[in-house]
Structure 1
Amino acid sequence: MEAAPHILVIDDDHEIRDLLARFLERGGLRVTVARDGREARRLWAQGHYHLVVLDLMLPGEGGLELARWLREQANVPIVMLTAMGDETDRIIGLEMGADDYLAKPFNPRELLARIRAVLRRSGEGEAEGAPARRTFQFNGWRLETARRRLLDPEGAEVALTGGEYDLLLALLERPHRVLTRDMLLDLLRGRQAGPFDRAIDVAISRLRRKLDDDGRNAQVIKTVRGGGYVLTCDVERR
């Protein structure tokens, strides 16, 4: 039997830690909890984790600093917990490569759904009957879905977060088609964008940098004023 995905929950509120541990374990996940950055670093060294749930409002070492450290250790998916309306920290976290976020207070069922979605995007526990593996070639680049990796025109691998991979795949599956922010958010997370939600803009900016696609003179992913984004190059599927 395949082992359950191992989740590291980092939150200074013991009631939230206990609630999430019980709820996520009932949802079929293995959970380890940490109350601050120091404990999280110690537990990180002792185990292998498939995803991190990280509260940004931690005592001592802040959540953003800890997220930066986690990104240096591994390409582990991160779901951030933020204070309601704390848009600045949320945007910074997304720019650092967090895969999703949820504002407090939140419904544990929604967090579990977000975790499962991110795990699917990162390749953990894919369901039977998933689409056949494909390779996309575009503008000299190559995305291999079987190994979930992006290769540059020289053949070197470029690391992608789970969210970046999923966004690029959504664009490659719909070349020359304008996709609004709402459409992209719905494709990636199954929810609609809020009026101040810049998650897609941040992800597009990160993806452009990795594709060497200058935002002001983008040739691969272009911005459509008042519309959204469009992948402008031809895509070959194999």
Structure 2
Amino acid sequence: MVRLEALLMGVLVLSFCVAWTAPPPACEWSPGMYWEWSITLPQSPSLSGTSTVYVLKAERWGDYEVDFLAWIWPFELGEVVQLGAAVRQPCGQMRGFGLWAANAHRWWTYPPGTEIEQRWQGGVTGEGTLRVSISDEEVTVEVPAGEFEGCVHLTLAGEYMDGGEGHEVREEVWFSRELGWPVKGTFRYGLLPESHFELLGLGQLELGEAVARVLAAVDRMAALGGPFDYQAFHVREQLRSLGLLPEE
């Protein structure tokens, strides 16, 4: 009898383990996920405000994930919407979908304490040097969206010549391994006031709600008129090609 009870208990425990699966980590993206940042650009108040990224599709291709993202950022009295695709290793490096803190996406996977120097000559920015430093230890960062442990702290300092004039830029970014996004950052160009951003919130929506929010932003972009009206039309067509809008 004791052996039978032990066997039954083992079956129950095994059944529970099979039925329960741990939720995927936050850095594994799924449709409907979103992240919202506040952006402060003292030299360009009309571009300051709230910027949001939504995941509209996420597809696995072997060891890689292709994510179709919508990026919304403030512009003048409205908003601008851009769709793009990113190729990423889940919880790893991302390529494509250019956005602010693009350097962080490029460098955060390097080992702690890494020092990198790059030089270039020619092109749009003439010649210059970029130095990247990754902190020796991961840090905990607190922002309005919460507290994030294990963040990579990157410091980037650049100098370049353009038209015979020297320019300096400095950027600091705190990148969350947990999310796969930067949660905080600062940027200074020359003697201009420092710009900064930080993560305000994040969450998971039904895909339909995420698409509805993107479409509302597209309408606000169209209201800006001129080339923005054409861009709004183009974004709607992209959403339709992704199967997120019905065919007309």
Output the TM-score relative to the length of structure 1.
0.24
Structure 1 or 2: more strand by fraction: 2
The structure that has the greater radius of gyration is 2
Indicate the structure whose relative CO is greater, using CA pairs within 8 Å and at least 6 residues apart.
Answer: 2
Output the TM-score relative to the length of structure 2.
0.23
Structure 1 or 2: more helix by fraction: 1
